Amino acid sequence: MTVAVKDIRTEEMLLNMGPQHPSTHGVFRVVIRTDGEMVLESESHIGYLHRCFEKVAENNNYLQVVPYTDRMDYLCAMANNLGYAETVEKLAKIQVPERAQYIRVIATELNRIASHLMAFGTYGLDLGAVTPFLYAFRDREMILKIFEKLCGQRLNYSYIRVGGVTFDITDEILADAQRFCDYFDPVIIDEYDRLLSYNGIFISRTANVGVLPVDLAISYGVTGPSLRGSGLKRDLRKDEPYSIYNRFEFDVPVGTGEMGQLGDCWDRYMVRIREMRQSVRIIRQALKDIPPGDFCEKKAFRGVKPPKGEVYHKIEGARGEVGFYLVSDGSVKPYRLKARGPSFCNISVLDALTSRGDCMVADMVAIIGSLDIVMGEVDR
Amino acid sequence: MALSRPEIHAIVKERFGDGVVEDHPEARDPYIVVKPEILEDLAFFCRDEPRLRFDLLSSITGVDYPDRKMIEVIYCLDSTPSKHWLIAKVLLPRDDPRVASVEKVWRTADWHERETFDLLGVNFEGHHNLVRILCAEDWEGHPLRKDYVMPETYRGIKNVIY
């Protein structure tokens, strides 16, 4: 008996990816409607890690909120600490000592590198390249050792607080940071490029996949490396300098579309690699210029009581715009604290990227990985 | 070209006149309060007006004021070409907060509005799928309301309150 091709029945299938899935980087569920290997439509479901950070903040005083900000984007906790601290300082008009500003920049940029290393490593892992992950962790370990010396923590630092930083940076740690910079750039990053960036299989998995046009990205509120991958030069460190970022020289890498279309997964990936070089550049300048002096405003450390009022402040985290909207009623606790996590907006574009009919099931993983999300921040 | 906050407020007032209820250029972070009825027009105007070009919606959030019986919904707008920004608010009655959805203007508003609905119970009229996003679908109440009481049990599981 022979079966003609026209007799073979195909039908659409609903596929549930997550909440427990190794490449969703946390508990994230996508319901995918597939036709064979093609994704026709997807629908994201979030909220599995929701703990209502904003309500918790209302019940704690300004200092007690700091550890909760760590746990939003736990891969780049320094940036969250910094965003929160600067928001409160902006409202309470607290002047941060010069030395503390430099320490903040060094810590945040080191953390940005650690976070991008994680993104680099796990992205390779998602696409089947296991080796780069081990290299990334080898180097990330060096940064975590520096942080361990700096504040005793490896992940959730609570290091940058309202008024300054918790501990002074010692000469030994400065030397460690210098040693890391010399070790890392350019030798190690070039090695990454050879390992993964220009690997033929990697390029065919990522180039022309998940193309995110710049207008779509802006409309969905995508920020950070994912937006810059689409070719728009928007970096809050340059555009609206906060802290002391206007003193440093650095470039803002953007996607160029050199491997395929502008705004594809490879562009977003490559922006992160190039940003690591720029972060090293900033750290080098900060290490050279760091002045002696106080590392914190002692009075603010004992407790802050901002006047009645409200502010919105945003900084450039490793994943994009970290914003805090703070409403104070003049008491020791925030009346309302809204956290704008970049991952929340970045992941919302996923459905638009995968519902155009040109996405395969395997590309799903490549697209989620290239947006580099942290679910702790999406769900808060 | 980046405009200062009072300049932006002036452009909005010039177009909407009485639609702008309050203008606070002297506040720590300047903001305007607009009538809920004009919100959708304001959103389109802010995005399309060549002097403003607010193409990026940073966040939508809400604040509950039980003593004033009001809920404030706050829109933080950002402009990627001009690099200036604006904070616009609407004041809604607490017992029935309704405002037009701006989902058609900025697509990111979809999730932000769902979040505000979920946590504060603000109804965004015209939203295509206004369901809970962070809390479970069958969760009761809106946690960020000031009078919210955490339920003792959820689906038979006891909630531990510290």
Q: pLDDT tens digits, residue range A11-69?
A: 888 888 878 887 777 788 899 888 888 888 888 888 888 888 888 888 888 888 999 99
Give the E-state strand segments of B36-84 in sequence order. 56-65, 70-78
Q: Strand pairing of A29-35 and B123-125?
A: unpaired
**Hey, what are A99's tokens?**
């030395």
Distance from A309 to chain B by nearest Cα, in Å?
A: 7
Q: If DSSP codes are grouped into helix, strand and coil, which group holds residue B83?
A: coil
ipTM of the complex: 0.90
From the CA of A293, how many Å to the nearest CA of chain B?
29
Helices B5-16 and B39-48: crossing angle, nearest 10°?
120
Q: Do A310 and B27 touch (CB under 8 A)?
A: yes
Could you tell me whether strands A13-17 and A20-21 are parallel, antiparallel, or unpaired per DSSP bridges?
Answer: unpaired
Q: Give pLDDT tens digits for B107-141.
A: 899 899 999 999 988 999 888 888 888 888 888 88
Contact (Cβ atoms closer than 8 angstroms) between residue A294 and residue A99: yes
- Residues 6 or more apart whose CB falls under 8 angstroms from that of A321 comprise A223, A224, A236, A314, A315, A340, A342, B58
Looking at residue B91, the DSSP 8-state letter turns out to be E
Q: Would you list the DSSP string of A97-147?
A: PHHHHHHHHHHHHHHHHHHHHHHHHHHHHHTT--HHHHHHHHHHHHHHHHH
Backbone torsion region of residue B157, taken as left when φ is above 0, otherwise alpha when ψ lies between -120 and 50, otherwise beta: beta
Q: How much is the pLDDT for A2? A: 64
- DSSP H or E segment with residue A14: strand A13-17
Instruction: Please calculate the CA angle A6-A11-A16 and round it to the nearest 5 degrees.
Output: 155
Question: Chain B: nearest CA to A146, how far in angstroms?
Answer: 33
Length of chain A: 380
CB A263, CB A213: distance < 8 Å: yes
Contact residues, chain A, for B74 at CB < 8 Å = 325, 338
Chain A residues within an 8 Å CB radius of B61: 325, 336, 338, 340
Cα gap A162→A86, rounded to integer Å: 7
CB interface of A with B, residues 30-69, below 8 Å:
46-47, 50, 52, 54-55
8 Å CB contact of A325 and B111? no
**Minimum distance, in Å, between the CA of residue A280 and any CA atom of chain B:** 26
Mutation target to probe the B interface, by most B beta carbons within 10 A, among A313, A314, A338, A344 is A338
Return the pLDDT at A115: 92
pLDDT for residue A273: 92
pLDDT of residue A195: 87
Element (H, E) at A369: helix A361-371
**Chain B residues with beta carbon closer than 8 angstroms to that of A380:** 134
- Regions in chain A scoring below 70 on pLDDT: 1-3, 5
Can you read off the two tokens belonging to residue A349?
């574009």
> Do residue B108 and residue A219 have CB atoms under 8 angstroms apart?
yes
Q: Which long-range contacts (CB under 8 A, 24 or more apart) does B33-39 make?
A: B33/B88, B33/B89, B33/B90, B33/B91, B34/B88, B34/B89, B34/B90, B35/B90, B36/B90, B36/B91, B36/B92, B36/B98, B36/B99, B36/B100, B39/B90, B39/B99, B39/B100, B39/B102
Cross-chain Cβ contact B58/A323 below 8 Å:
yes
Q: pTM for the whole thing?
A: 0.89
pLDDT in tens, B14-62: 888 888 888 888 888 888 999 888 888 888 888 888 888 888 898 999 9
Neighbours of A60 (CB within 10 A): 16
Contacts of A345 in chain B (CB under 8 A): 108, 111
CB within 8 Å: B63 and A335: yes
> DSSP secondary-structure letter at B87?
E
Q: What is the DSSP letter of A212?
A: -
Please report the pLDDT score of residue B140 as a whole number.
84
